[in-house]
Chain A
């Protein structure tokens, strides 16, 4: 996870406290796990050490939430490079759903009941994502679309898997 670069992005609008960074992150990604305070401060500390951010204000009482951070020129450069860089496709990792279906076939179990339950859960989730969209702000629909379209891809894979299993059963009969 590119937390460091994301924090740079969150500081690009201007200097901010760690708390603002956390809040900014959570509003950019309302459906993701909230960013932990501890992680914000360790990340800011590391970015400061690497001269990607600098402390521009430190209130007298001290304490990390009083510290105001700003991007350095170097930090801005790093952010721009990260944003421009395309991502390699994920290596063909096989998640638990695929393992389950393969295991179902290999053990000769009936996959259709499992498929129905899996479809119900995924369709339900897509439905939730869609109804949230109405109230969603600026960019959160981007994340929701991403999640919904990936769930759709999984569902289509499940359909094809089940079709092929059924066809095989029919020809073996």
Chain B
């Protein structure tokens, strides 16, 4: 079995701050990993490097068997679109598209037929429990409903890994846990590994493994399952 994600000695520096100082992390297919650590320790930067959004200055990222550094820009975009799902704190849906079109978008960008893309989108909206709002705009729905649609959008392409950066950060603790349960169930359902960034111990406890960063390095790794 190949790993869904293999990060090796990744370094990343912004113009003023060094955010990652050689981080290594492997994620098995279907595994749930919580990335925790204090503010500014590099969690989001790590996720952005792993998802192919940022290019690390050193080290390698291998996603679904492809070493991102060895790909052309077009190939990298393709891997990012098909193998990566992303869920952020506030859903981040396109404001003037319906939920259904938001979820269909990653498939449309990949050249799927519109009808097939919308059908798949509706299927995922059903699985996350907001099918009856599929024609609504994000602004007409609650934060929690938007988050559900964001989960559907992250999984619609059948990615190898879903990255969720503080997906429960804007929800109260009960809603946050329900969101986490949905993410875990959806990732399992879609056969994706889940990398979840969180400050919240009660959320991290859902993971199979915790990787804790401090100041750009892995402070510790513990198995929970």
Contact = CB atoms under 8 A, between A and B. Distances in A.
Given A120-B222, A123-B222, A123-B224, A148 B202 contact: yes
A127 B224 CA distance: 8
User: B177, B202, B205, B224 — which one has the most chain A CB atoms within 10 A of its CB?
Assistant: B205
A127 B220 CA distance: 19
Main secondary structure of the interface of B (DSSP, over half): mixed
B18 to A, nearest CB: 15
Interface stretch (A38-46, A48-56, A88-96, A111-119): A111-119
B210 interface: yes
A73 B210 CA distance: 54
Interface string A92-115: 000000000000000000001101
B38 A119 contact: no
Nearest to A153: B201
Interface in A114-164: 115-117, 119-120, 122-124, 126-127, 130, 148-149, 151-152, 155-156, 159, 163
- The number of chain B residues touching the other chain, given as a range, is 10 to 19
Contacts of A166: 214
B80 to A, nearest CB: 31
A67 to B, nearest CB: 44
Contact of A130 (B206, B210, B220, B222): B206
A152 B223 contact: no
B219 interface: yes
Contacts of B212: 116, 119
Main secondary structure of the interface of A (DSSP, over half): helix
B204 interface: yes
B204 A123 contact: yes
Contacts of B214: 166
Contacts of A117: 222
A127 B225 CA distance: 8
Interface in B47-101: none
A116 B202 CA distance: 16
- The number of chain A residues touching the other chain, given as a range, is 20 to 34
A49 to B, nearest CB: 45
Contacts of A126: 201-202, 205
B38 A123 contact: no
A123 B205 contact: yes
Interface in B185-215: 201-202, 204-206, 210, 212, 214
A117 B201 CA distance: 15
Given A119-B210, A123-B210, A166-B214, A130 B38 contact: no
Contacts of A122: 201
A131 to B, nearest CB: 9
A116 B222 CA distance: 7
A13 B225 CA distance: 40
B210 to A, nearest CB: 6
B219 A155 contact: no
B219 A152 contact: no
Nearest to A163: B38
Contacts of A115: 220
A113 B202 CA distance: 21
Nearest to B210: A123
Given A155-B201, A156-B201, A124 B206 contact: no
13 contacts: A112-B220, A116-B220, A116-B222, A119-B210, A120-B210, A120-B223, A127-B205, A127-B225, A149-B202, A151-B201, A152-B202, A156-B201, A163-B38
Interface of A: 112-113, 115-117, 119-120, 122-124, 126-127, 130, 148-149, 151-152, 155-156, 159, 163, 166
